[in-house]
Amino acid sequence: MTVDGLYKEDAEKLARQMEDDNPMIDILDIKMDPGISGYVIVAYDNETDEEFTVDRPETWVERAATTGPRPLSQLVIRVKEKHDRKVAVLGGKWTEVTPENWPGHIREAVERRELPGENLVDIEPGASDADIVEPGHGAPAEYGFDGSYLVHLGEQDTRVWRQILKVANFTLEDQSHLSSEWRALGFEIAPEPLAPMVEPGSEEWSEAYILEEVKDRLLDISEKGYGAILVDGQTSVMAYAWVLACRMGLKVISSWSRAGMTSRSGFSGLGYSELIHYHDVEESL
């Protein structure tokens, strides 16, 4: 018989920590286990569809280290033969970014004639055997990857692409009329609105019920291969969605209309911001 069983108060505290660590965990019960002379936590993992028991903090730490939502790899490189040449093909969809829309850190690196982020051949050494890289048809060593941006820094010109990210529309507004603008920004948006329609002050829509509804919808979204959600609208829905989506490895973005001038003409269109991960917000305190 072990002597390190949990007291009820410790079990309740650990259960709250488990829910904070992974929002896809539901606590089913906290009960006495005579076999260990202490309390155990019975929980359900929505990600793995599994019920499990935690009898001490170390049990949860071990499980949390090997389970839970994780972001997918952002860059997939395959080297293949094409027309008698070895070609490094970057997986996914890409859209070219015009110079006026390059992020500041990309622009600064290009001005210094430095590759931003990681060199392509450092990410995938096998790519060094390729003759060219697609997109861009440049030499492998001339490419850098930073976040979702791919940069070809050639002798004659510089080109920048953004990896197209699949975005779920977690708002109440249809985005069909903006699909082409989202595409130009590097996003493949599912136009149909997926956020719950909440009636503020309604007894039906308690905050606990809103949280549960948001979680259920985001779990469904995360299982369908989305890399981000677009948020807007009712405050509590968006607040809960921000935290839960970050935990699930999804980016969270918001949008606005923008207008400005170039040297040739005026322009108007869509702009967006990526929300800061809630861990970074906590660390700023």
- At 167-204, the pLDDT tens digits run 999 999 999 999 988 887 888 999 999 999 988 778 88
- Give the domain-ending residue among 66, 85, 112: 66
Query: Do residue 60 and residue 139 come from a single domain?
Result: no
Domain range for 138 is 77-163
**Statement to judge: residues 179 and 104 lie in one domain:** no
CA distances to 7, 16, 114, 183 from 111, in Å: 61, 50, 8, 27
Q: Tell whether 197 and 261 lie within a shared domain.
A: yes
Q: What is the pLDDT of residues 217-248, one digit of tens each?
A: 999 998 887 889 999 877 899 999 999 999 88
What distance in Å separates the CA atoms of residue 50 and residue 247, rounded to the nearest whole number? 19
Residues 111 and 177 in one domain: no
Same-domain check for residues 19 and 106: no
Cα separation values, 237 from 50, 197, 200, 217, Å: 27, 9, 11, 11
Last residue of a domain, one of 112, 134, 163: 163
Q: Is 172 helix (H, G, I), strand (E, B) or coil?
A: coil
Q: How confident is the model at residue 262 (pLDDT cuts 50, 70, 90)?
A: very low
Whole-prediction pTM value? Answer: 0.58
For residue 163, pLDDT over 90 is answered with: no
According to the model, what pLDDT value does residue 65 have?
Answer: 63
Helices (H) and strands (E) in the chain, counts: 8, 16
- Same domain for 180 and 129: no
Same domain as 208, residue 107: no
- Gap between the Cα atoms of 218 and 214, Å rounded: 6
Task: Give yes or no for a contact between 46 and 248, defined as CB atoms under 8 angstroms apart.
Answer: no
Supply the mean pLDDT for the chain.
84
Among residues 139, 163, 187, which one ends one of the domains?
163
Q: 97 and 120, same structural domain?
A: yes
- Tokens representing residue 214 in the block: 């948001």
We report the CATH number of the domain holding residue 240 as 3.40.50
Q: How far is CA 166 from the centre of its chain?
A: 10
Cβ proximity of 109 and 174 under 8 Å = no
Q: Does some domain include residue 3?
A: no
Number of domains in the chain: 3
Pairing of strands 85-90, 132-134: parallel
Is 50 exceeded by the pLDDT of residue 70? no
